[in-house]
Amino acid sequence: EYGSDSWVMGTCAPSKPQPDQPLDPPPRVGGQSVRARYALAGQEHVFQQMEQPGAHQPKDVAQFLEQLENIRVDSLARELEASERAAEQELTGEGGPVTAVSVDKMSWGLESQTVEDKTTWSYMAYHACQRGQLGVVVLVEQGLEPGVSVGAARLGPLSGKTIWQHMLDKLHRVKHKAAAAVSSPSELVRPESIQIPLYIVASDLLIDQIKADWEAEHNYGLFGEVMFVGQPGVPALDPQARLVMRSGTSVHMEDSGGGGVWAALHDRGGIGDMVSRGLLGVQLFRLSNLAAVPCDPELMGYCLGHQTQLGLLCSRQSSTHSPQQQPQQQGVLGQEVMTVHLAKSHQNASAIRAVS
């Protein structure tokens, strides 16, 4: 998903010290271990701007050193070299080279099923929902404004609903259909009794704002079903594998995006929560994918019925007028379903992390 153009960036212009800042002596930059590690890795340039007298406040320096501590500077060059080498090689799998298939010619299982089969898969998913065995992972991107998620964008002047509300309306409809499907004359199942765990994944720069937005909306009535998971960023590098600076006391960080979802869920408690709930499967999609149906019954049921470990649904996208993208040529919207039996199989958190 991530080509070199999306993460190898040019250098950013350094910020200039403000005239009203005190001209203190140069701060003592970094402990010996931090600076020594960066010098050994050929990254000592990150300290250059901090040597200027009065350029930075001590608190900025402290935050900068903390950021440097969390960057795996020792392996940056190796990781860049490995990614460039992989990009040049043909993708291969265990069975040999992977052949690209035209979307127009691709016919996959779900599309070839009869109406009766699709109904069967849906009922299977509805019963799993009623037992609390299915979950949804939503990857949230940044919107047009820095620090504001795409979920805050409003879809149009008529409804005035945000993308969050649009997605949750579809989730509630799935709950209502599930309740109707599993109810019997002797036992009525109420939609509000069905819990579909929702794992909201966003960068560390966005996750606190998303939490605040949800708290302002009283969690949209979903209490005990929502978990917010922050993703650590990845440092931007120039073509020489040198760290790119956002300012004199900040390394430019990029979102780890879809490639870092499962690692973040593993490291920050999401996978553990799935295991403790006994989930049989989870669906992953981007919030900006307005065509996605949370806990899509046909897709989830199909994957459960075939006991597949990973399913992928692609739908043709006529244009990408999403809140954060410019119009472009036709593309593909994707959704993933992970149906590893987390609570009953040895393929648990470590296996999912290996998949990521």
**Do 34 and 65 touch, CB atoms closer than 8 A?**
yes
Mean local confidence (pLDDT), 319-325: 48
- The predicted structure's pLDDT at residue 128: 94
| 3-state secondary structure (DSSP) of residue 32 | helix
- The predicted structure's pLDDT at residue 288: 86
- The predicted structure's pLDDT at residue 95: 44
Find which of 52-56, 97-101, 174-178, 304-308 is predicted with most confidence, using mean pLDDT.
Answer: 174-178
Is pLDDT above 80 for 24? no
CA distance 310 to 338: 5
pLDDT class of 299 with cuts at 50, 70, 90: confident
- The predicted structure's pLDDT at residue 184: 85
CA distance 24 to 57: 9
Is pLDDT above 90 for 180? yes
What are phi and psi for residue 158, nearest 5 degrees? Answer: -80, -60
Is pLDDT above 60 for 3? no
- Mean pLDDT lowest for which of 13-17, 169-173, 259-263, 287-291? 13-17
The label of the residue with tokens 């509805």 reads 126
> How is 40-60 classified by DSSP, letter by letter?
HTT-GGGGGGGGSTTSS-HHH
| 3-state secondary structure (DSSP) of residue 315 | strand
CA distance 322 to 289: 8
pLDDT higher at 101 or 14: 101
pLDDT higher at 43 or 108: 43
Mean local confidence (pLDDT), 244-263: 83
| Torsional class of 336: left (φ above 0), alpha (ψ -120 to 50), beta (otherwise) | beta
Handedness of CA 329, 257, 76, 13 (dihedral sign): positive
What are phi and psi for residue 194, nearest 5 degrees? Answer: -90, 125
Mean local confidence (pLDDT), 260-269: 90
- Mean pLDDT lowest for which of 41-55, 61-75, 129-143, 179-193? 41-55
CA distance 336 to 352: 13
Is pLDDT above 70 for 354? no
pLDDT tens string 124-142? 999 999 999 999 999 998 7
> How is 64-90 classified by DSSP, letter by letter?
HHHHHHTS-GGGHHHHHHHHHHHHHSP
Strands 134-139 and 96-97: unpaired
Is pLDDT above 90 for 57? no
The Cβ of residue 273 has, within 10 Å, a number of other Cβ atoms equal to: 16
CA distance 164 to 2: 26
Is pLDDT above 80 for 196? yes
- The predicted structure's pLDDT at residue 71: 83
pLDDT higher at 173 or 345: 173
pLDDT tens string 206-233? 899 999 999 999 989 888 899 999 988 8
Mean local confidence (pLDDT), 64-81: 80
- The predicted structure's pLDDT at residue 246: 82
pLDDT class of 41 with cuts at 50, 70, 90: confident
Mean local confidence (pLDDT), 158-181: 91
Instruction: Name 34's Cβ contacts closer than 8 Å, sequence gap at least 6.
Output: 65, 68, 69
**Do 260 and 252 touch, CB atoms closer than 8 A?**
no
Is pLDDT above 60 for 93? no
pLDDT class of 45 with cuts at 50, 70, 90: confident
CA distance 342 to 352: 9
Is pLDDT above 50 for 310? yes
The label of the residue with tokens 């760290």 reads 243
- The predicted structure's pLDDT at residue 104: 42
Is pLDDT above 50 for 15? no
Find which of 84-88, 104-108, 179-183 is predicted with most confidence, using mean pLDDT.
Answer: 179-183
CA distance 277 to 105: 39
Mean pLDDT of the chain: 74
Is pLDDT above 70 for 337? no
